[in-house]
Structure 1
Amino acid sequence: MLVMNGDECSSLFDTKVGVRHRGAISPKLFAIYLEELITLAEDCHVGLEFGKQKTDVVANADDVLLISTTKLGLQKQLNILQEYGVKNEIKYNP
């Protein structure tokens, strides 16, 4: 994991624990941690469109919902999720 501060990054370090369950700041910390994943899922452009609004991912606290209009699109998102999990040592509970 890398921590960014402006244009500077920390050295790489392993995380041993997640965020505290029901901690006041836990949802915000988790959102920061998943920001890259959400961006990657949105960038594959397979979500649902409502006029000018597009929805690919809905995330709340430690829940992530992938939205796609096709099976192939959902598979693309799942592949992104899997690769992100391997890279960042995240274990998912489907």
Structure 2
Amino acid sequence: EKYDLFEEGVVTPHLAPTGYLGTGQVGYFLSNMKSIHDAHIGDTFYIEGERGKITPFPGYEKPQCMVYAGFFPEMASNYEALEKAIQSVLLTDGSVSFQY
């Protein structure tokens, strides 16, 4: 996938824009990525045209689900409210996955 990069920087107690991220730095970037689920912890991002200069993190594997739970509304009429609440969590927490 391709994304436009608007800002990048390091994480101190606050977000500090630097225009670059160095090896070992804890950083962030702002882009036009539409879903939090398009990126995973450990993913390697690079500037288009520099792919050959970048070595992905060795041994990266997509995180596996470790906790499974079933949720059901107490009353069938509350199903839509439960679904809306779960969708809200999915928007902000990339570690949560959901299957119908």
TM-score tier by shorter-chain length is 0.3 to 0.5
With the length of structure 2 as denominator, give the TM-score of the two structures: 0.31
Q: Which has the larger radius of gyration?
A: 2
Q: Which of the two has greater helix per residue?
A: 1
**Greater share of residues in strand:** 1
TM-score (norm 1): 0.33
